[in-house]
Amino acid sequence: MSEQATQAPEAVNLEDLSAELQQVIKYEQVPVELYAMLASVHEASESTVREFWDTMPKSAQNILDNFEQFHALVSLSQSYAGLDFMQETQDMKFEDMDEEQTQEYKAVLLDKLLHNCVKDLAKQMKQARLKPAMKREFRDIFAK
């Protein structure tokens, strides 16, 4: 095992994150232990989330002020979903698969799960166009 793989993840300070991600973290009271994972997910998912954002109707995009807010919400959703998935599948073994096949299968499932997080949030934003209470919930997260 490499030296880097055995080290604990580097601590991430709230102030080092984007303003939008900071607001989501504060609003949702995300534990400090999850900041590093959340920051990694946020960085890794940007291009995919941007592609999805660009395909959404303007009326759904207008629920939020900008892409960065959407990206922060998606990052949080993906982080929690990914964490839950990893905990649930940690010891999962499949009798008809070797270790490498099992890991590949889990990676495919995780990828689908993370993609579904983006789709789900986009669907919620489309619904919020017609539901003032839902629209307000989205906007409250980023209220200064």
pLDDT band for position 9 (cuts 50, 70, 90): low
User: Please, which residues have CB within 8 angstroms of residue 53's CB and are 6 or more apart in sequence?
Assistant: 61, 67, 70, 71
| 4: in domain | no
Mean pLDDT score, 28-37: 93
| 110: in domain | yes
Question: Percent of the chain, pLDDT > 90?
Answer: 74
| 1: in domain | no
| 120: in domain | yes
Judge whether residue 144 has pLDDT over 80: no
Number of domains present in the structure of the chain? 1
CATH number for the domain that contains residue 100: 1.10.3440
Judge whether residue 4 has pLDDT over 60: no
Q: For 115-140, what is each residue's pLDDT tens digit?
A: 999 999 999 999 999 999 999 999 99
pLDDT (0 to 100) of residue 2: 40
| 136: in domain | yes
| 48: in domain | yes
Judge whether residue 15 has pLDDT over 80: yes
Least confident of 59-73, 89-103, 130-144: 89-103
- Domain hosting 57: range is 10-141
Mean pLDDT score, 72-100: 90
Judge whether residue 76 has pLDDT over 60: yes
